[in-house]
Chains A and B, each alone.
Chain A
């Protein structure tokens, strides 16, 4: 297909990359992802929680993650998301891009 992937608003620390990263460790449902981001960033990163869902849809449409209905740890029905092989590749790409970017920013900041 000669189509470009759905655009993600790639600021450093983009939500898409974070989601892919989290899902690469374990399968989670939407709320779980938000909690995980907040806990592991010591509440530094405050996600507007609703924004998570458009992001999840975008990732799923691009075939990077896959959602199936399952049960959460406290026995509620929820869509549990898994990362796909294509998702892992994308994560690698984004991670590299992010590394470059932060490095570049760091250089600029350090050049003073």
Chain B
């Protein structure tokens, strides 16, 4: 063994050895030259003479290197040639193994490439490691006092540890305070997501994602323009010329290349801007989820968003701007936090006006910014880990299976191994050769796996994006991913090859030479591997059951409104320059025009689709009262005429909102049945009033609708107040057309009509109602499809393993079975004897797997709906499916066993 180690060391240290050898030869030449010089030669001649006597230095180095390389390589070559011959001799086995491995490794590669793109990739800017994101956390105001220093906000919160709230939005004065004479940041820059804006280029209007950025944004990120120049601090001042930077893709799509875009004027929400620069192609801002088309100086939001935006700058209690800093060289994130947290605290104390507000102040924390903002990570990391666990299990099952097949084959090769060992081959040498074979199998599997992964990434992207426009999640097979795949293949090869290799080279060669049959340990190993496969298949079956049940439950939810034959699309007339009350008229007239399209039986609009109403927020968020009673937990939705009819929501009393409800007419509301029952009991609510405290106006209830799932499928509330869109005038509306046939057939007519009304208004978010609803449960759809596929695959692999193992042991027992049958055993008894073993193996697998499933699936509880991780029905169903599959896999060999001719069997013995 020491010999092996020494050779291994030789090989691994070859680079260092090469260097040592070079030094040694140089020394030799120097000494020789020195000696010759002493003997009277000139320095130059001495050096030449030394070289002449030495011979060809390069050649000698080559020769020396070869001495330690050739043996390893020639042996490897031998092994590979031998491996190829073995593979060719067992084509069926090799093909099966390579196919299984390709599926297993490919699935892992596909999922991993998503993880790499979401969780591990850095922003494509200079030195991303020195970027930090500024966040703060605090207790949520609901617990304890309701008072909070945050009086208004625009942005996202996400849950932190122990019920804390985390966010990255700050008041503008906080940004200024933190930026002053900052000892830890070389730059501090701010930005906020402007969401979709109306971008008009040469009269063509489209919807474009906008990011508002401070003057130091591009300097801080150290990005250089693809053309023109980027926004600087001169541009980001109130009153400065309105300039814009556009993304590389936008410059290509809208201007035909970066140089053409520079100096062009564009309209953003109908405000003129001048394009001054184009970002480099790889740049996507700081949020991998966003990829804006437009970058605008922060202060230009006063132009696009009006007076509301101007107020935000001075308000220390309005939270909206997000920040990133670049650390000065040598400053750590912890040092920066220690320096800035007290400064932020001192500032935020001054914005608290009451004791209650002072009791729960936001506390600054810094997070690494190298990977950008974490919205994608927060959204996808857990689902990806779950998927990775699943494909990991598939690969484990594959390895177990191939190990099993190899063990069975090792029986056949035991004689060969014994011969080689007894002829003096080292055991290590033989194991190494066997391992080379299995790594070769795995590498082939990995190669085909990459092809499978390319397909997998493509279909997974399709599945995840679910028809979304500008879906930013782009996974790709880069070198990092391929490296991991290669490593995975080698590890798999070693994993499934090692046990069989060691087994088949056990030193007790004599019995093997005598009869060529394996002993007990191998069968035990085979059984362990089969049990493991069954246990893993069961886990995946239960997973599939849970996710399919979840999806079924979601699909069977009573929406209370029409799902089929509805076309949805969104318009934002305000961004095209329209203002109230003319905007309300525009929307109402457009509704009438759309209703006249042949095949359209009804047209209406509302502030958003019903399913996404929760996300978009209600038309009114303040306190509502009926008399003196406040209404709790009701959603307000502004809707146009004929909303209930078009959506097929039954009208239970009174009327729906219609053409009568104009801007100037008395404000009205239609309430849902549950709201009516809760606050009016059995009285008729029609004619009663709802008071909107914040707007100081009353709505007259004119009708009662049936209950609808308002907002998301899972948390749909049925307490709904429909108000007239003409009296609430949302900026952005979603139209709904009730049509005959495929809704998407009407998209062209819709675009035409909207263009006629005003060509500056782009038509966005075109979906069928069904797709819009499915979009909210895309994760559940993805999971149930994938997991079902994985479970079927796992079950198939496990059955192949079971079949192989049982066939093998039947073959070994031919003698015993023959004897039994000669002694009068019935065929049925023989079948049962074999099947009993199958069932025992399956039972052992289940015994391990049921508790494991109960523990493991608790982790994915948040992914489930309408079912529990320990749902006994699903566990039972998975067990039944598994047992049936096991019996099917075991039946063929069992039948074969029962057909054994006792005479032949005994003769064989």
Contact = CB atoms under 8 A, between A and B. Distances in A.
Do A and B form a real pair?
A: yes
Interface of A: 1-3, 6, 29-31, 34, 48-51, 53-54, 56-58, 61, 63, 69, 72, 76-79
Nearest to B70: A6
A49 B53 contact: yes
B27 A78 contact: yes
Contact of A50 (B20, B56, B71): B56
Residue among B6, B28, B60, B65 with most chain A CB within 10 A: B28
Contacts of A54: 60, 63-64, 66-67
Contact of A29 (B10, B27, B30): B27
A57 B67 contact: yes
Contacts of A78: 24, 27
B67 A79 contact: no
Contacts of B428: 1
Given A29-B24, A31-B31, A53-B24, 11 more contacts: A1-B3, A1-B429, A6-B71, A30-B28, A31-B32, A51-B55, A51-B60, A54-B66, A57-B65, A57-B67, A58-B67
A96 to B, nearest CB: 24
Nearest to B53: A49
Interface string B464-487: 000000000000000000000000
Contacts of A1: 3-4, 426, 428-429
Given A2-B429, A63-B6, A53 B64 contact: yes
A50 B3 CA distance: 28
Contact of A31 (B28, B56, B425): B28
A57 B7 contact: no
B27 A50 contact: no
Contact of A49 (B27, B54, B65, B425): B54
B67 A2 contact: no
Contacts of A48: 53-55
A49 B32 CA distance: 10
B389 interface: no
Contact of A63 (B3, B68, B426, B429): B3
A61 B67 CA distance: 8
A90 B87 CA distance: 41
B521 interface: no
Interface string B60-79: 11011111100100000000
25 contacts: A1-B426, A2-B425, A2-B429, A30-B25, A48-B54, A49-B54, A50-B25, A50-B59, A53-B21, A53-B24, A53-B60, A53-B61, A54-B60, A54-B66, A54-B67, A56-B64, A57-B64, A57-B65, A57-B67, A57-B68, A61-B7, A61-B67, A63-B6, A72-B31, A76-B27
A50 B57 CA distance: 7
B40 interface: no
Given A3-B426, A50-B55, A57 B27 contact: no
A21 B303 CA distance: 93
Nearest to B6: A63
Contacts of B56: 50
| 3 shortest interchain CB distances as A-B pairs | A50-B55, A50-B60, A54-B63
Contacts of A72: 31
Contacts of B54: 48-50
A58 B66 CA distance: 10
B306 interface: no
Nearest to B10: A61
A32 to B, nearest CB: 9
Interface string B16-55: 0000110111011011100000000000000000000111
B515 to A, nearest CB: 25
Contacts of A31: 27-28, 31-32
A30 B64 CA distance: 14
Contacts of A61: 7, 10, 67-68, 71
Nearest to A63: B6
Given A51-B55, A61-B68, A30 B24 contact: yes
Contacts of B429: 1-3
B424 interface: yes
A28 B371 CA distance: 57
A48 B64 CA distance: 14
Nearest to B60: A50
Interface residues of B, number: 35
A54 B60 CA distance: 7
Residue among A1, A61, A69 with most chain B CB within 10 A: A1
A69 B71 CA distance: 26
A48 B63 CA distance: 14
A90 to B, nearest CB: 14
A70 to B, nearest CB: 12
A69 B59 CA distance: 24
Contacts of A51: 55, 60
A62 to B, nearest CB: 10
Contacts of B65: 57
B20 A79 contact: yes
Contacts of B425: 2
A61 B10 CA distance: 8
A2 B423 CA distance: 9
A24 to B, nearest CB: 21
A30 B28 CA distance: 7
Contacts of A77: 23, 27
Contacts of B6: 63
Nearest to A34: B28
A34 B4 CA distance: 31
Contacts of A53: 21, 24-25, 60-61, 63-64
A30 B30 CA distance: 12
B780 to A, nearest CB: 59
Contacts of B57: 50
B24 A79 contact: yes
A1 B8 CA distance: 14
Contacts of A3: 426, 429
Contacts of B28: 30-31, 34, 49
Contacts of B7: 61
Contact of A6 (B64, B67, B424, B426): B67
B255 to A, nearest CB: 65
A102 B556 CA distance: 99
B906 to A, nearest CB: 41
A31 to B, nearest CB: 5
A3 B723 CA distance: 91
B314 to A, nearest CB: 72
B185 to A, nearest CB: 48
Contacts of B63: 53-54
B21 A57 contact: yes
A2 B7 CA distance: 14
A75 B44 CA distance: 23
Contacts of B27: 29-31, 76-78
Contacts of A76: 27, 30-31
B72 to A, nearest CB: 11
A55 to B, nearest CB: 9
Interface string B416-436: 000000001110110000000
A77 B23 CA distance: 9
Nearest to B420: A2
A2 B31 contact: no
Nearest to B28: A31
A54 B59 CA distance: 10
A82 to B, nearest CB: 15
A104 B7 CA distance: 37
Nearest to B4: A1
A79 B30 CA distance: 14
Nearest to B59: A50
Interface in B185-202: none
A2 B20 contact: no
B702 to A, nearest CB: 96
A30 B27 CA distance: 9
Nearest to B424: A2
Residue among A2, A48, A69, A79 with most chain B CB within 10 A: A2
Contacts of A29: 24, 27
A49 B57 CA distance: 10
